[in-house]
Structure 1
Amino acid sequence: MVEEEDYDTTRFLSKLAQDSFYEDLEKKFLAERYITYDREAYPLLNDQIEARGWNALLQRPIRDTFPGENAREFYANAHFSKATEAAWVRGVEVRFTPEAINEFYNIEWPVGQKDETDDLFRRGEIEEQNLAQMKGFFSVNNMDTYEPLRQSQLKWEANAWAVVMCSHLAPTSFNTIYGDKRVPLLYSLTKSLKFNLGKVIHARLRSTIDRTSTKQKSFIFPYLIFGLCKNAGVDFGVMQEVCKLGTPIGNHSICATLGLTYQNYAPRPNPPAEKVQGVPREQQGLAAIERKFMIHHEYTPKI
């Protein structure tokens, strides 16, 4: 007679994985956010996203809601699995290799292509000789050690990229201080360095699976996991936990990070010409040009 297992074998690899699933039910999802900002307002950011082939980040997903319990099963089973690039969900192997992630986002990264950020890291830390190279993102404190710059100290382009980074590439619930692992990514984005996005996201997933941070209070990339499960043929069954995408990244999201409002950032209409009695037409034209300059200067972001 075969003894029955004391856990749900259709959903979990082990009793430990099942216990972990229920213990982590209090953890929330930090869901992805798609990008909907005015592309004419941020042409440089838009051009760089398209040049990298990340157009999927600019497209609204087919659905805004998706099952969340499968992502929880993904994390629970992956944590207690010896596999480093696959997780078991409802009896199906779900691979989350860099190649599988790039395929989900429809990103091409040719085999053998050099990742220009490899030299910035060693075991997840920034090489000492590269700190000086990133001086625009670090400051030296009184202890003569490097500290990441605060949000208010970054230039507007870095801040705009930071919104994308902290919302989609390296998710976090806050973006006021960028830790050591995010600074090279932000530096690479602003310097247009080529890197394998699938590898970056895989590393973030692996860190969440391994629970390397004691402050971790949420699960990341639930929509990506849903997509990988769907591509692998997972039978989701009845959706019990509904997960929703995050608030879209629009003009207000970026401007709020920059300390502005979209109304202040948007171009202002030219003021109506004033008729001044007794003043030559040429001088009136000069005065109008000066007024336009002052209005432009007043509403131009101070960056």
Structure 2
Amino acid sequence: MSYAIEINGLRKSFNDQEVVKGIHLKVKKGELFALLGPNGAGKTTTIDMLSTLLKPDGGTALVAGYDVVKHPKEVRKRISLTGQFAALDEGLSGIQNLILIARLYGFSPKEARSIAEQLIQSFGLSDAKDRMVQNYSGGMRRRLDIAASMVTQPDIIFLDEPTTGLDPQSRMGVWEVVRTLLKQGTTVLLTTQYLEEADQLADRIAVIDKGNIVSEGTPSQLKASIGGKTLAIRLAEQTNEATINRLLADHHQLTGFQGHDPLDFNIPVQEAILASQAIHTLVSNKVPIDYFSLSEPSLDEVFLAITASKQKKEVVQ
């Protein structure tokens, strides 16, 4: 198996606080691998080490076959990084930005113009190519920023939360750009806190929480890991979460996860019969249920289940 990225025991601390705690990962060539986790989980620190912006405190990382500590220049020749904020000159037009970057990489004026025109077209910015970047929307800036990362046609591109702050339509536009990169054979390591984004784009996902990789697999594997189905319950009136979970645990060894709306609960179940039994138990104990449904689990349930399980283990230890 040929890997674009290999991480073994990678660690990083700031002011005696360990933020990346000996993680292990392998990313295949040509795949999109998503590093999924909340703010402060260690995603950006990991990206910064892989892109040679930060030196690891321990462990090893090979990017495009080169050690990030021993051969940082070789790594940089083969990668590109798009951070959380667009690194563009707002006083230049879209195409002027791309031409400038190409010239800085040593391309001739003719080559730089050709590369810029191709990228502008590929990323759907032809109508705005002569417009000042300061007048671009958030989604257009992000597309241009990713286009700038492709000037040298890198083997590997790091996208650090590329759709943070974008509206849903702009986010989907960036997703299409990312899919275009994959069709070209580019390896993409994406960090995100958006579960839907990882579900839509990733070949494989690693869930990172508090500096640790707590689970890894394809979206389907992660969903299957917490149960074959999700029982979604809508309460008729607010009920104590602890009461519901005590009933579920005592009678069926199940755990419910309260949604953003306190009236909503999601319960992973291995079999449909368990869903029926859980509903019977709750109703028999006067839990006011308005309606319920049974469906495939989402990555939201996966993440909540995985992190909740990890927290329980930490408490026990």
Q: What TM-score range do you get, normalising by the shorter chain?
A: under 0.3
Rg larger in structure: 1
Which has the bigger relative contact order, CA under 8 A and spacing at least 6? Answer: 1
